[in-house]
């Protein structure tokens, strides 16, 4: 949209039904002006999307070097009530929907100092009791030894597929796939510190460094909903070792620390994680504060200058005796036949093993690959891939990365060409995503053979039902896409939805079992 000397362009558009809003990145081009007021931006963006100015929120704007262009974020809520419910108070104050704190700056500072003094007294008392607490913790740890520890996760629409941790492979093709209700991020809630501080994190098996934002990083972290206050935790420690990671798109950096992490009522002391004071902020658009990383421990050497192997949350639970096996499993609830009837996919992650109620077959295991480029990931060698009656056998093993953080199934170009050969009405969107008639009859099964066992993906599983193309309801997206450079195959949700996937750190293997349908 252009108005006089101001041009507004939006990108990375996403409809987030969970938070009842539309989200986007906004570029404002203003060559003749120093800047454009937020009030004016709200009005212009509202006009662009035929929405009232009162339901528009803008924030995080930074001017590019040399001036003339500013970039930030915009949210358009369904109604004012949703805006009041989900927007932070300081932004509500800015647009006149909440009252500013009473008293002057000096009074607020004095109040803050009094609170700090109180916290200092409280922390002193906590430190006196610390040894007693540790003894009690040791005594009750045995209660968890023979149990599985589980935590539910919730899926929300996300604005682009991220294979976290694969950035060093330059997998730029993994991002920006615009699938409403299909391009999903899986979120879990955890607590860090004593007393606990709540965080909502994105579940990711493609990286090994969990991180959360620190209080005060604001626009340098995308204004997350929750941020860590280290001084508020009596169990927080750090040696200030540098943390840095690049993803398929985006980055995060800061320093490593340790603290107590609590999930679903189970507290795990001395868990390694990173405190981020600068990241791309894209996660906040998905409703996440940071990353909950569950890749193999060895993958963490790429995230610190000392190349140290830093134990993940699961390994720390195992070493503390809270779980019997250094294993976790992921269960996805079945997806509705029409995805428009189901706004999110939920599931459960189980630490220590597999819940019997989640599976209807034995777990079949595949050793993790020994190929040097992929040995630090959850990845396995693929023996063969079949499409209908055609079989491609690989003398030099093809590696399939298993990743809960990817929505799609990426396969070699030759295989994808075979799948869609002769399909009438086949189309591709600008991102490379394949679109087929929803009622196509001649689509073949895909069989992936690993460690001598066949894993079949049927058209019912790889065609996304429900007519997601609003301009063409008779057409459907698929979960299939050609593999990006440097990677043979990625087995994301489109493959994993049929199975409970098991990740065994101890024996370096990945397992699959047929998933039970749990109502």
Each domain of the chain, given as residue ranges in start order, spans: 2-94, 145-331, 356-514
| Higher-confidence position of 279 and 273 | 273
Quote helix, strand, coil % in the chain, to nearest 5.
25, 35, 40
Q: How far is Cα 493 from Cα 182, in angstroms, rounded to an integer?
A: 10
Place of tokens 């063409």: 472
The active-site residue, picked from 204, 259, 376, 381, is 204
In this structure, what DSSP letter does residue 124 have? H
Q: What is the mean pLDDT of residues 54-74?
A: 91
In this prediction, residue 143 carries a pLDDT of: 36
Q: What is the DSSP string of 5-52?
A: TEEEEEEEEEEETTTTEEEEEEEEE-TTSS---HHHHHHHHHHHTT--
Q: Quick one: 374 exposed, middle or buried, by C-beta within 10 A (0-12, 13-18, 19+)?
A: buried
In this prediction, residue 223 carries a pLDDT of: 87
- The band of 354, judged by pLDDT with boundaries at 50, 70 and 90, is very high
Q: How many CB atoms lie within 10 A of CB 191?
A: 18
Average of per-residue pLDDT values in the chain: 81
Which residues make Cβ contacts (< 8 Å) with residue 76, sequence separation at least 6? 21, 22, 24, 45, 46, 49, 51, 55, 56
Tell me if residue 403 is catalytic: yes
Q: How many CB atoms lie within 10 A of CB 518?
A: 12
Q: Determine phi and psi for 490, rounding to 5 degrees.
A: -130, 125
Identify the bridge partners of residue 427 per DSSP, sorted by sequence position.
435
Do residues 279 and 251 lie in contact, with contact meaning Cβ atoms separated by under 8 Å?
Answer: yes
3 state SS of 416: helix
Give the closest residue to 516 by CA, choosing from 355, 326, 339.
355
Q: What is the mean pLDDT of residues 98-104?
A: 75
- Report CA torsion sign: 249, 254, 255, 258: negative
Residue 281 has pLDDT above 80, yes or no: no
In this structure, what DSSP letter does residue 67 have? S
Q: How far is Cα 383 from Cα 470, in angstroms, rounded to an integer?
A: 39
Do residues 430 and 173 lie in contact, with contact meaning Cβ atoms separated by under 8 Å?
Answer: no
Residue pLDDT, tens place only, 184-234:
667 889 999 999 999 998 888 888 999 999 999 888 888 888 999 999 999
Q: Which two tokens stand for residue 442?
A: 């001649």
| Higher-confidence position of 397 and 361 | 361
In this prediction, residue 283 carries a pLDDT of: 65
Q: Which two tokens stand for residue 271?
A: 């868990």
- The band of 262, judged by pLDDT with boundaries at 50, 70 and 90, is very high
% residues pLDDT > 90 (the chain): 47
- The band of 242, judged by pLDDT with boundaries at 50, 70 and 90, is very high
Place of tokens 């093709």: 173
Write the secondary structure of 195-212 as one string of H (helix), E (strand) and C (coil).
CCEEEEEEEECCCCCCEE
Residue 241 has pLDDT above 90, yes or no: yes
In this prediction, residue 149 carries a pLDDT of: 80
Give the closest residue to 31 by CA, choosing from 59, 58, 63.
63
Do residues 86 and 99 lie in contact, with contact meaning Cβ atoms separated by under 8 Å?
Answer: no
Residue pLDDT, tens place only, 114-136:
655 544 544 444 444 444 333 33
Q: How far is Cα 312 from Cα 304, in angstroms, rounded to an integer?
A: 14
| Higher-confidence position of 396 and 253 | 253
Place of tokens 């390694």: 272
Q: Which two tokens stand for residue 387?
A: 């499409």
Residue 179 has pLDDT above 70, yes or no: no
Looking at 154-158, 297-301, 413-417, which range is the least confident one? Answer: 154-158
Residue pLDDT, tens place only, 391-448:
999 977 799 999 887 788 999 999 999 999 989 889 887 777 889 998 888 899 999 9
Q: What is the DSSP string of 283-333?
A: GGGGT-SEEEE-S-GGGGGGGSTT------HHHHHHHTTSSSSSEEEEEEP
Q: For the structural domain made of 356-514, what CATH number should be given?
A: 2.40.70.10
Residue 247 has pLDDT above 50, yes or no: yes
Q: How far is Cα 299 from Cα 315, in angstroms, rounded to an integer?
A: 13
| Higher-confidence position of 258 and 157 | 258
Residue 366 has pLDDT above 60, yes or no: yes
Residue pLDDT, tens place only, 461-511:
899 876 555 456 788 889 999 988 888 999 988 899 889 999 999 999 999
Give domain 145-331's CATH architecture: Beta Barrel (2.40)
Could you give the strand order of the β-sheet that contains 69-77, starting from the edge strand earlier in sequence?
2-3, 6-16, 21-29, 69-77, 56-63
Residue 38 has pLDDT above 80, yes or no: yes
In this prediction, residue 313 carries a pLDDT of: 95
Do residues 470 and 426 lie in contact, with contact meaning Cβ atoms separated by under 8 Å?
Answer: no
Place of tokens 């000392």: 306
Which residues make Cβ contacts (< 8 Å) with residue 149, sequence separation at least 6? 263, 264, 266, 317, 322, 323, 350, 351, 352
Q: What is the mean pLDDT of residues 9-30?
A: 88
Tell me if residue 204 is catalytic: yes
- The band of 168, judged by pLDDT with boundaries at 50, 70 and 90, is very low
Residue 77 has pLDDT above 90, yes or no: yes
| Higher-confidence position of 163 and 399 | 399
% residues pLDDT > 70 (the chain): 78
The active-site residue, picked from 259, 403, 488, 504, is 403
Q: Which two tokens stand for residue 359?
A: 């599976």
In this prediction, residue 220 carries a pLDDT of: 86
Question: Up-side HSE of residue 95: CA atoms within 13 Å toward CB?
Answer: 22
Q: Compute the C-alpha angle 486/491/494, nearest 5°.
A: 135
Residue 519 has pLDDT above 60, yes or no: no
Our CA dihedral for 379, 380, 383, 386, rounded to 10 degrees, sits at -50
Q: How many CB atoms lie within 10 A of CB 132?
A: 9
Which residues make Cβ contacts (< 8 Å) with residue 66, sequence separation at least 6? none
3 state SS of 494: helix
- The band of 101, judged by pLDDT with boundaries at 50, 70 and 90, is confident
Answer whether 2-94 and 145-331 agree in fold. Answer: no
3 state SS of 235: coil
Q: Which two tokens stand for residue 203?
A: 């579940």
In this prediction, residue 431 carries a pLDDT of: 72
Q: For the structural domain made of 2-94, what CATH number should be given?
A: 3.30.70.3370
């Amino acid at each position: 949209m252009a108005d006089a000397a101001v041009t507004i362009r939006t990108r990375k558009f996403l409809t987030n039904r969970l938070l009842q809003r539309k989200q986007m990145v906004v570029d404002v081009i203003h060559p003749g002006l120093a800047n454009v007021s937020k009030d004016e931006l709200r009005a212009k963006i509202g006009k662009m999307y035929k929405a009232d100015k009162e339901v528009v929120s803008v924030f995080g704007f930074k001017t590019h070097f040399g001036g003339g262009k500013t970039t930030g974020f915009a949210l358009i809520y369904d109604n004012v009530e949703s805006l009041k419910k989900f927007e932070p108070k300081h932004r509500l104050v800015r647009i006149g929907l909440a009252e500013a704190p009473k008293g002057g700056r000096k009074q607020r500072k004095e109040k803050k100092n009094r609170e700090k003094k109180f916290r200092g007294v409280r922390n002193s008392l906590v430190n006196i009791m610390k040894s007693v607490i540790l003894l009690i913790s040791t005594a009750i740890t045995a209660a968890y030894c023979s149990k599985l520890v589980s935590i539910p996760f919730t899926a929300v629409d996300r604005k682009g597929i991220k294979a976290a941790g694969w950035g060093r492979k330059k997998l730029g093709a993994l991002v920006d796939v615009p699938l409403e209700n299909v391009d999903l991020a899986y979120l879990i809630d955890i607590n860090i510190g004593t007393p606990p501080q709540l965080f909502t994190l994105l579940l990711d098996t493609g990286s090994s460094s969990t991180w959360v934002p620190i209080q005060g990083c604001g626009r340098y972290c995308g204004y997350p909903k929750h941020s860590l206050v280290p001084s508020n935790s009596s169990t927080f420690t750090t040696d200030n070792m540098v943390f840095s990671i690049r993803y398929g798109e985006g980055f995060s950096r800061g320093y490593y620390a340790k603290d107590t992490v609590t999930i679903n009522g189970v507290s795990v002391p001395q868990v390694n994680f990173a405190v981020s004071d600068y990241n791309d902020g894209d996660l906040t658009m998905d409703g996440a504060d940071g990353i909950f990383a569950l890749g193999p421990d060895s993958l963490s050497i790429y995230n610190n200058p000392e190349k140290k192997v830093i134990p993940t949350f699961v390994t720390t639970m195992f070493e503390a005796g809270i779980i019997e096996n250094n294993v976790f499993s992921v269960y996805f609830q079945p997806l509705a036949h029409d995805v428009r009837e189901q706004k999110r996919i939920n599931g459960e992650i189980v630490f220590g093993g597999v819940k019997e109620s989640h599976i209807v077959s034995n777990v079949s295991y595949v050793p993790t690959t020994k190929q040097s480029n992929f040995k630090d990931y959850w990845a396995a060698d693929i023996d063969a891939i079949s499409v209908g009656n055609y079989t491609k056998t690989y003398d030099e093993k093809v590696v399939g990365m298993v990743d809960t953080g990817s929505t799609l199934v990426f396969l070699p170009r030759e295989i994808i060409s075979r799948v869609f050969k002769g399909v009438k009405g086949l189309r591709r969107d600008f991102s490379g995503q394949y679109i087929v008639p929803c009622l196509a009859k001649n689509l073949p099964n895909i069989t992936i053979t690993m460690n001598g066992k066949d894993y079949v993906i049927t058209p019912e599983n790889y065609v996304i039902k429900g007519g997601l193309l609003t301009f063409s309801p008779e057409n459907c997206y698929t979960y299939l896409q050609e593999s990006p450079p440097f990677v043979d195959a990625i087995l994301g949700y489109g493959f994993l939805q049929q199975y409970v996937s098991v990740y065994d750190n101890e024996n370096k293997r990945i397992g699959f079992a047929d998933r039970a349908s749990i109502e």
